[in-house]
Chains A and B, each alone.
Chain A
Amino acid sequence: QKEVEQNSGPLSVPEGAIASLNCTYSDRGSQSFFWYRQYSGKSPELIMSIYSNGDKEDGRFTAQLNKASQYVSLLIRDSQPSDSATYLCALNSNYQLIWGAGTKLIIKP
């Protein structure tokens, strides 16, 4: 059973600080990882994809992948109230996405 684990939170971060979201997974063979953001009552929105060990930066977002330790993380710099949402970690197993339950992030003004 392939699993993706996330701390459900809520994670509360002051506005302007760095939010750090973590995700661990059980399948060593996984190659593709994704971070999605989901606002309450809305659909998941792709933020980042990462396939290689190391960091990948896109604007205020940095995804980090460590395949040896089987974790993937998302850093959000200069957090804004609009970043308040649930962040979902997913990995691709063949063609289906295996999802974590999500971490609820709250940015406090």
Chain B
Amino acid sequence: NAGVMQNPRHLVRRRGQEARLRCSPMKGHSHVYWYRQLPEEGLKFMVYLQKENIIDESGMPKERFSAEFPKEGPSILRIQQVVRGDSAAYFCASSPLGVGNQPQHFGDGTRLSIL
């Protein structure tokens, strides 16, 4: 499967635990974007990364959330000390280039549920 791969598909955490979401971009894509979708709402941009660089994290909450895209391995979105409001679908997208007219291709998402 050459598409964007996200895992896990579903993640359940209790309040105060940590959540780690993984994303492997499409083959040949070096630009990764994370979006969050709350129930019955549109997608909201969180962060844009290239290998070993965070380019734009303007959509990510300042506390508890972090993202990385290491030289080797998948991109990781990490949420510390999760709260009920973190329950959402988290989508990762990738593109071959980071310019504006490049369509972004999405993974199947991770559905995060906080008990």
Task: Write the residues of chain A forming the contact surface with B, with a CB cutoff of 8 angstroms.
Answer: 31-32, 34, 36, 42-46, 49, 51, 88, 90, 92-102
Contact = CB atoms under 8 A, between A and B. Distances in A.
Given A43-B91, A43-B107, A44-B91, A95 B31 contact: yes
Contact of B104 (A31, A97, A98): A97
By size class, the interface of chain B is 20 to 34
B75 to A, nearest CB: 15
A92 B100 contact: yes
Contact of A32 (B48, B55, B98, B100): B100
Contacts of A96: 33, 45, 48, 56, 58-59
A92 B101 contact: yes
Contacts, number: 61
**Consensus secondary structure, chain A interface:** strand
A93 B100 CA distance: 7
Contacts of A36: 106
A36 B101 CA distance: 15
A88 B42 contact: yes
Contacts of B93: 97
B42 A49 contact: no
Complex A-B, nearest 10 residue pairs according to Cβ-Cβ distance, in ascending order: A96-B45, A101-B42, A92-B100, A99-B42, A43-B106, A32-B101, A99-B43, A95-B98, A43-B108, A32-B100
A32 B41 CA distance: 22
A42 B106 CA distance: 10
Interface in B39-87: 41-45, 48, 55-56, 58-59
A105 to B, nearest CB: 15
Contacts of A34: 103
B108 to A, nearest CB: 5
Contacts of A88: 42-43
Nearest to A45: B106
B15 interface: no
